[in-house]
Amino acid sequence: MPEAAVAAPQPWGLTLSRRRIVAVLGSVMLGMLLSAVDQTVVGTAMPRIIADLNGLQHYAWVATAYLLSSTASMPIWGKLSDAFGRKRFFIAGMVVFVAGSALCGQAGSMTALIVFRAFQGLGAGAMMPITQAIVGDIFPPAQRARWSGILMSVFAVATIVGPLLGGWITDNVGWRWAFYVNLPVGVVAVAAAVVALPGHVSVHRHRIDYSGAALLVAAAVPLLLGLSWGGSEYPWRSWQVVSLFVFSAVV
């Protein structure tokens, strides 16, 4: 007697209803919009922040610390979501981001703000890789590029809305609300993710490549530092900047 056919496990998203897919996409898009708008809002508020905290000398680090931590944490968040499920780590990333926003609003010095922005960036690092992974789970390969492009449209919205919102907040309620505004939106985004995202755990065993993730971070951090310091902290041809680029290329 021939052996009974065993159905291969399918990605969880392919069995979702159309309404559930819309809910999932809406929840992850809200999370991405939160982090995207934050960057443009904070950029608009920076002159007032610098004046209040006397931080002109270190102002570039407010953006650099955020960028470094978010970039370095992306592969780690992605691997963890592959191994243990998208939902828990997408929500965890948003919780870290919202907590970091609250801390940034409380910062009493430029140093504290830089540290809190780095913490906030750790949470933001979860948004992009896990969102792309969720799209891959939901849609077949032929449709993924289209839906990924639709999700990426939030950055265009952020480019328009962020500066306007940041300017209004800074002029009317103070620069600290450039961070506090993330709290109510973040609570809604977390609640939407809790309700909409399936509690899927991968049916395949994944081995987290810790050494590969460490090497990626070791290559990305000096590259970003070189791009940030070049032309501002040091000349582009200085040994500090050149050595960072060389180290990144070697790694």
Residues 118, 240 within the same domain:
no
User: Is pLDDT larger for residue 29 or for residue 223?
Assistant: 29
Give the chain's mean pLDDT: 82
The predicted pLDDT at position 209 comes to 62
Whichever domain contains 30, its CATH number is 1.20.1250.20
- Establish how many alpha carbons lie within 13 A of residue 188's alpha carbon, considering only the half-sphere containing its beta carbon: 10
Which residues, listed in sequence order, are joined to residue 230 by a DSSP beta bridge? 234
In a domain, 5, yes or no: no
Chain position carrying tokens 């390969």? 141
**Residue 154: exposure state from Cβ atoms within 10 A (0-12, 13-18, ≥19):** buried
The predicted pLDDT at position 12 comes to 43
Residues 64, 148 within the same domain:
yes
The predicted pLDDT at position 10 comes to 43
Residues 229, 198 within the same domain:
no
In a domain, 142, yes or no: yes
The predicted pLDDT at position 120 comes to 96
In a domain, 20, yes or no: yes
Given pLDDT bands bounded at 50, 70 and 90, which one contains residue 104? very high
Residue 1 has pLDDT above 80, yes or no: no
Residues 187, 218 within the same domain:
no
Residues 131, 216 within the same domain:
no
User: Is pLDDT larger for residue 143 or for residue 210?
Assistant: 143
Q: Count how many domains the chain has.
A: 2
Residues 80, 180 within the same domain:
yes
Percent of the chain with pLDDT over 90: 28
* Whether 193 contacts 31, CB under 8 Å: yes
Rg (CA), the chain: 20
In a domain, 194, yes or no: yes
Residues 197-209 pLDDT 10s: 877 645 455 565 6
In a domain, 63, yes or no: yes
Residues 222-246 pLDDT 10s: 877 777 777 767 788 888 788 888 8
Residues 220, 198 within the same domain:
no
Residues 129-182 pLDDT 10s: 898 888 888 888 888 888 888 888 888 888 888 899 999 999 999 999 999 999
Given pLDDT bands bounded at 50, 70 and 90, which one contains residue 5? very low
Residues 89, 213 within the same domain:
no
Residues 30, 117 within the same domain:
yes
In a domain, 160, yes or no: yes
In a domain, 177, yes or no: yes
Residue numbers of the domain that contains 245? 209-251
Residue 82 has pLDDT above 50, yes or no: yes
In a domain, 130, yes or no: yes
Residues 31, 153 within the same domain:
yes
Chain position carrying tokens 């919009």? 33
Residues 128, 75 within the same domain:
yes
Residues 139, 222 within the same domain:
no
pTM as predicted: 0.80
Residue 95 has pLDDT above 90, yes or no: yes
Residue 115 has pLDDT above 90, yes or no: yes
Percent of the chain with pLDDT over 70: 88
* Geometric angle at alpha carbon 158, from 60 and 126, rounded to 5°: 70
User: Is pLDDT larger for residue 83 or for residue 116?
Assistant: 116
Among 53-57, 190-194, 229-233, 240-244, whose mean pLDDT is lowest?
A: 229-233
